[in-house]
Amino acid sequence: MKYYKISIIGSVLEPLTYHSQENISLYKKVLVTLNNKDKYGVIVEEVEKPEFKTLEINETTDEYYSQKQYELANFIAGYYICSLGEAFALMLSFKETQKIVNSDLEYSSKITLSQKQMKALEFLQNNKVSLLFGDTGSGKTEIYMKYFEEILAQNKRAVFLMPEISLTPQMGKRLEEHFGEHFIMWHSKLTPKQKKEALEKLHDGTANIIAGARSSLFLPIENLGLIVVDEEHDESYKSSARPRYNARDLAIYMGKLYEIPVVLGSATPSLTSYAKFPHYRLKGGHYQTSKEFIYEAKEESLTPLVFHHLKNTLGQKKQSIVFLPTRANFKYLVCKDCGATYKCPYCSVGMSIHQKSNAIKCHYCNYMQPIPKICPECGSDHLSSSRIGTAEAVKEITEEIQDVKVEQFDRDTITTANKLKQALKRFNDKEIDILVGTQMLSKGHDYHDVELAVVLGMDNMLNMADYRAREKALSSLIQVAGRSGRASDAKVLIQTYNEEFFKAYIENYEEFLEFEKIFREGLYPPYKKLCRVLFADKNGLKAQEKMREMEECLKKFDTIEIVGAKKCAIEKVANKYRFEILLRADKAVDLIKAVKSCKNSLAEVDMDPIDFS
């Protein structure tokens, strides 16, 4: 009889011992019984016969995980403080029937790089991890594609990570036109049929360029030769659910594990990547166009100046984009008499108005109710809304400008990959005059004829309780501004009371990063490591008690600093009261050691946090 430690896929439990009469190889995917239910697991170790009684392995599948996948899962479990089973749940297994057919692929390349681009490519090839710091429109994509060609010529494969689904249609089209059947796209919005077809191409060796969202990292890829992380600064690379990994950081770890190069790319790189890795600065765009920046000291609103520029642009038969950080109609409903905000009954946040569905909705737990007529505190009917959102902006523009074609472009309206594709096509086909949207607007889409970008709500981003608030606000502004003036001169109208800050750095992001280094040193990443521990329970006293219990335990460790232990900024979400501890240390290993020693049943650990709400 053989005895094996098996990690149950998706389970929080430590590996469990089962027996079998078969000789089963390590990392094989098997079917076992746990609590009277069939569960898949991964064989991680062969052990001696234990003293306790064991169950038999039900079935051995024709699937397995590679040694490298096991090492990656082990790293995720250790660094992000989750179970091995949760780490394995991220990954898709190999099949024993998987046969890689290596054929010499030759491309009659249509990509011609400029001298600057060739120098950039050489730089990327000469570094294990490198940052391509290239302005919007400077030709980063052509450099990536040329690099992919060279990887394919070596019979290897490349993973091209993009922040989220919003980047995929146009980029996917370019890659497909160039690499044909050797390219597959992978993200959460694919249908089961599309996923099956993509996996078949992966298994039979047809697919050599794998592009998509962060889950692409965990596909069963043989002969991996390169990982490119585009828009590396983007927050959607960080998972908000356990395991709370950051795909950019995992790509860098995988580079070491697989002994392959990793390229990070961005027009507005994170300070962490800029400070840690060698970079190549690629300035300017393909087109010699100029941008005029207009500043208006106003709060988030569509002012006469905004309408003046929208009408002018429309009169020249050109297009505009309007960026707002808020979706729906308004962020909050406020009573003019007593100042009370209409809050979600289950979360301590204001609810957003959605005029189309005549409801207010919580963007944290999705609770909805009809738009109230009276204040919940004083009974007054003087309710007003503050902070303009996308739907309200569309309504105001339509009322102010006759015969204008305006479209909303955010997560409320763009719910599928197909809707995104259609909306972008309509805009580029000039069926839409003005596109009003949130962060989705800035995600690398190629708008051909935009001559005006209106950016509202910058001060809200700048004033967030986040050590990266300046970086995030400036990065967003540069990314949105970069969507205009691709083929001709353009204007960027920015509403802010902080003109001095934006004016100083909007055309010199590198100088900002150098300045920001001084501000962060000794306090924040990349010079310090942070860890956030969250406690949530329907019983607020219990959550607070568990936080205090862990805080006392953590005080024993002199290698870490407790920055704070308190109520969360958003105290209640989905009817659970929330408390948090923020920790700081010079080394991640010190944080991990302390947290693992002191962790209790309610503690939810977030290493390298990026969300402090």
| DSSP codes of every residue in 198-264 | HHHHHHTT---EEEESGGGGGS--SSEEEEEEETTT-GGGB-SSSS--BHHHHHHHHHHHHT--EEE
- Which residues are 32's β-sheet partners? 39
Give the 3-state DSSP-derived string for 549-595, with helices as H, strands as E and coil as C: HHHHHHCCCCCEEEEEEEEEEEEEECCEEEEEEEEEECCHHHHHHHH
Instruction: Identify the weakest region by mean pLDDT among 8-12, 84-88, 355-359, 539-543.
Output: 355-359
570 touches 347 (CB < 8 A): yes
Q: Once rounded to an integer, what is the mean pLDDT over residues 608-612?
A: 88
Name residues whose C-beta falls within 8 Å of residue 287's C-beta, 6 or more positions apart in sequence: 137, 485, 486, 487, 488
Tell me the whole-structure pTM to 2 decimals.
Answer: 0.88
Running DSSP on this structure, what letter comes out for residue 351? Answer: P
Token pair 């600093």 is found at 561
Q: List residues bridging with 266 in a β-sheet.
A: 133
pLDDT band at residue 428 using 50, 70 and 90 as cut-offs = confident
* Whether pLDDT at 177 is above 90: no
Torsion of CA 209, 210, 211, 216, to 10 degrees: -160
CA distance 231 to 536: 33
Mean pLDDT of 485-511: 89
Q: Indicate the range of 96-105, 140-149, 368-377, 435-444 predicted with least confidence.
A: 96-105
Q: Is the pLDDT of residue 212 over 80?
A: yes
Given a cut of 70, whether residue 444 has pLDDT beyond it is no
pLDDT for residue 239: 95
Which domains are assigned to the chain? 2-95 (3.40.1440), 115-282 (3.40.50.300), 291-327+389-520 (3.40.50.300), 529-607 (3.30.70.1710)
Specify the pLDDT at position 165: 56
Lowest-confidence pick of 79-93, 164-178, 324-338, 558-572: 324-338
- What is the pLDDT at residue 612? 76
Q: Per-residue pLDDT tens for 55-101?
A: 999 999 999 999 999 999 999 999 999 999 999 999 999 998 766 55
CB 414 within 8 A of CB 360: no
Looking at the chain, the whole-number percentage of residues with pLDDT higher than 90 is 64
Whole-number Å distance between alpha carbons of 19 and 2: 6
Task: Extract the tokens encoding 271.
Answer: 């300070």
- What pLDDT, on a 0 to 100 scale, did the predictor assign at position 107? 60
Cis peptide before 50 (omega within 30 of 0): no
**pLDDT tens, residue by residue, 105-132:** 666 677 889 999 999 999 999 999 999 9
DSSP states of 21-36 as a string? SS---TTEEEEEEETT
Which pLDDT belongs to residue 375?
A: 84
Q: What is the DSSP string of 369-424?
A: EEPPSS-TTT----EEEEEE-HHHHHHHHHHHSTT--EEEESTTT--SHHHHHHHH
Q: What's the average model confidence in pLDDT over 489-517?
A: 93
Asked if 525 contacts 532 with a C-beta cutoff of 8 angstroms, the reply is no
CA distance 476 to 207: 34
The Cα-based distances of 508 to 138, 173, 285, 475 in angstroms read 15, 32, 15, 11
Task: Average the pLDDT over each of 163-177, 510-524, 526-540 and give the range with the smallest value.
Answer: 163-177
Give the confidence band of 531 by pLDDT, cuts at 50, 70, 90: very high
Q: Which one is predicted more confidently, 280 or 98?
A: 280
User: Span 24-29, mean pLDDT?
Assistant: 97
C-beta of residue 585 within 8 angstroms of C-beta of residue 561: yes
Determine the 3-state secondary structure of 143 from DSSP: helix
Rounded mean pLDDT of 255-277?
97
Distance CA 450, CA 436 (A): 13
- Ramachandran angles phi, psi of 588, nearest 5°: -60, -35
Instruction: Match 């039979």 to its residue by tokens.
Output: 204
Average predicted confidence (pLDDT) for the chain:
89
The pLDDT assigned to 439 comes to 82
Least confident of 54-68, 279-293, 385-399: 279-293
pLDDT computed for residue 333 by the predictor: 72
Percent of the chain with pLDDT over 70: 93
Q: Which of 110-119, 136-145, 601-610 has the highest mean pLDDT?
A: 601-610
Strands (E), 69-173: 94-95, 129-134, 157-161
